[in-house]
Amino acid sequence: MSSLPQASPRLVVGVLAVLAALSARSVMRRLWPETPSTPRLAHALTAQLLADARSRTRVGRWTASLTWGGALLALHYTWLAHDQYTHVPDLDILAHAMGGVGVAAILSVGLRETVPDGVSAWWIVALVLAVGAGFETYEFLVKTFWHQWTTLDYLTDTVLDLVVDALGAALVTLSGTLSTTARDGLRTP
């Protein structure tokens, strides 16, 4: 009887993905000490979406963020169905970069009223990193594409995916920080 691939040295990589998620959550708590629990964040995001829809506030941002996310989700399942991740080099990297941008955009518009003034906008990067690590844990438990990889291959892929997730989120955070700085600079006498 053969053992499951998860019961191999790759288990260390799976555990590292879980630890990365917990570490990202810890970093987020340092940036925002009163960080609500994940269910409360999800509730706040949903409540903000509904409130904005009723008041027709930030409709363009919501539409762009959710369209981006929906398009990426459709692409992801299309790519999976047609085995594109194994045939197109670095498609996974592109998907993670796009995912980091999309998740950060949704979080920034959806949690803007939840995050108190004075909290660094960089908490979004930590939360996206936690989401990405959660996805890596999901891949480890559910997907089979990596079963033939060496532990080093899987570790390299996981770390690269998380770095690219964080870079996509940093791009959104940096663009928001720069636009806020520019806007505030215009108001200064």
The radius of gyration computed from the CA coordinates of the chain, to the nearest angstrom, equals 18
Q: Is 65 exposed, middle or buried (0-12, 13-18, 19+ CB in 10 A)?
A: buried
Answer yes or no: pTM beyond 0.85.
Answer: no
| Nearest of 129, 138, 91 to residue 107 by alpha carbon | 129
pLDDT tens, the chain, 189 aa long: 445 555 566 677 777 777 887 888 888 888 888 888 888 989 999 999 999 999 998 999 999 999 999 999 999 999 989 989 889 989 999 999 999 999 999 999 999 989 887 788 888 998 899 889 888 887 777 776 666 777 788 788 889 999 999 999 999 999 887 666 555 554 444
Enumerate the H helices of 32-150 as residue ranges. 38-55, 59-81, 84-87, 91-110, 123-142
